[in-house]
Amino acid sequence: MVKNVPKKLTYAKTGVDRELRAKAKTALEMLQQTYKFSAYGGVLQLPYGNIIPIGDKYLDLVIEGIGTKVLLAQLADKYDTIGVDGAAVAVNDVIRSGARPLALADNIHAQISDPLLVKDWIEGISKGAAESRCVVTGGEIGDVPEIIKGLKESKGFDIIVACIGDVNEDRIIYGNDIKPTDVVIGIRSSGIHSNGITLARKVLFKEWGGMFDPYDIPEGLDRELVYEALEPTRIYVKPIIAVAKHHRIKGAVHITGDAYLKFNRLMDFSKGTGYEFDNFNPHPVFEIIQKAAGRLGGISDEEMFSTFNMGWGFAIVVNRNVQDEVLDILEKDKNEAEVIGKVMSTKRITVVHNGKKLILG
């Protein structure tokens, strides 16, 4: 008799369905009707968003949230770093177009505006803004207890951060001239960042059916698991601006939700291309996630690389001829950066890891 074997875990099974989200996003096409209102010229569509002209520059405006990482802050009862994530997810998205972040604004929905909590939230946002060299021009905190709930009484919240940046036309990262033999350079992440948290939580923490108590220290870590998961998202503004001053960046990818599947958007703009990644040294927490998932059916290697950054938080595509100079610029500022892959003519995304060849998507 064959025993029932749990099916492997996916992001969709834990609550984030990529296919459903893709279908839902088709509704965004209606927003193109608003492009005619661009006051100073046509909207420029780029791989990961649109920018608008104003004077002799273009403006890039993004708005981002932290997602369920706020639940980890509540689990640890630690709130002074989560604002860094809010700033990071916004500014890291702005620099994908080649823009320099200029200003941030935040919107926080809370169960209650507890002064100590507000101080911690703002402390994190301020730290992220300073790292990004941005001003914070304003924000709002709304008390909406009937909407927001928390793991800990009166400590439920959600943080949304918007960022605006500007870019000269000659510095725009179009993503439309990427060719086979170009290389991909990755910059090290600080850990999980703010993506794949729904899957990670449900595998790792007993609070959501996982394996560990928050303050357990699994083998491979040197601190409590909840603090490892809370490590703020790294901010990549300085290294990307430093590279852009000297070399043309052909494509820029913030490796967040969908992880290495995000390179599909570059493939849409540079037809006939594909990517092969073969250089990974994942943080120990990623191995812990995959091992802990074994009792729940496991997570495939393909799903890991389609959900988590696996050690590289931001990537740029550059001409092979300048790769050494780009790496020198990044390493002078103490960034851990390496060539992690190359552009191919395969029209697919391939990951080579631990002797296995994985096809994503």
| 241 and 348 part of one domain | yes
Judgement on whether residues 111 and 212 belong to the same structural domain of the protein: no
pLDDT exceeds 70 at position 4: no
Q: 187 and 63 in one domain?
A: no
Do 206 and 128 reside in the same domain of the chain? Answer: no
Domain boundary among 127, 147, 171: 171
* pLDDT the model gives residue 11: 76
Please write the tens of the pLDDT for every residue from 25-41: 888 889 899 999 999 99
- Written as six digits, the tokens of 23 are 């279908």
Closest alpha carbon to 237 in 105, 341, 353, 84: 84
What does the pLDDT read at residue 29?
87
Residues 197 and 222 in one domain: yes
Please tell me the predicted confidence (pLDDT) of residue 2.
40
Whether residue 188 is found in the same domain as residue 329: yes
Given this model, what pLDDT does residue 6 score?
Answer: 59
Residue with tokens 């959900």: 307
Number of domains in the chain: 2
151 and 194 together in one domain: no
Indicate the pairing of strand 135-143 with strand 100-110: parallel
Question: Is residue 196 domain-shared with residue 167, that is, in the same domain?
Answer: no
Alpha helix stretches (DSSP H) within 195-354: 197-204, 225-230, 237-244, 263-269, 284-292, 301-307, 323-332
User: In this structure, is residue 245 part of a structural domain?
Assistant: yes
Q: Is residue 344 part of a domain?
A: yes
CATH of the domain at 339: 3.90.650.10
Distance CA 205, CA 207 (A): 5
Q: Is the same domain home to 145 and 226?
A: no
How many other CB atoms sit within 10 Å of the CB of residue 111?
20
Is 235 part of a structural domain of the chain? yes
pLDDT at 1: 41
- Reported as a single tens digit per residue, the pLDDT across 243-297 is 999 999 999 999 998 999 999 999 999 999 999 999 999 999 999 999 999 999 9
CB atoms within 10 A of CB 154: 12
Task: Report pTM.
Answer: 0.94
Structural domain includes residue 312: yes
Exposed / middle / buried, residue 286 (Cβ in 10 Å: 0-12, 13-18, 19+): buried
pLDDT score recorded for residue 207: 96
| DSSP assignments along 171-238, one per residue | G--------TT-EEEEEE--SSTTSSHHHHHHHHBGGGT-SB-TT---TT-SS-HHHHHHPPPPP-HH
Q: Is residue 349 a part of any domain in this protein? A: yes
5 pLDDT higher than 50: no
Confidence of residue 12 (pLDDT cuts 50, 70, 90): confident
User: Is-contact 259 199, C-beta < 8 A?
Assistant: no
Query: Is residue 133, in this structure, part of any structural domain at all?
Result: yes
From 107, 142, 171, give the residue that closes a domain.
171
Confidence of residue 46 (pLDDT cuts 50, 70, 90): very high
Q: How confident is the model at residue 98 (pLDDT cuts 50, 70, 90)?
A: very high
- pLDDT (tens digit per residue) in 142-168: 999 999 988 898 999 999 999 999 999
pLDDT in tens, 216-239: 999 999 999 999 999 999 999 999
CATH of the domain at 106: 3.30.1330.10
What mean pLDDT value characterizes the chain?
Answer: 95
Tell whether 326 and 187 lie within a shared domain. yes
166 and 111, same structural domain?
A: yes
Q: Could you tell me if residue 156 is inside a domain?
A: yes
pLDDT tens, residue by residue, 185-220:
999 999 999 999 999 999 999 999 999 999 999 999
Q: Which domain holds residue 270?
A: 183-360
In a domain, 155, yes or no: yes
111 and 217 share one domain = no
Of 125, 142, 171, which one is at a domain's C-terminal end? Answer: 171
Q: What is the structure's pLDDT at 233?
A: 98
**pLDDT, mean of residues 120-126:** 98
Q: What is the pLDDT of residues 294-326, one digit of tens each?
A: 999 999 999 999 999 999 999 999 999 999 999
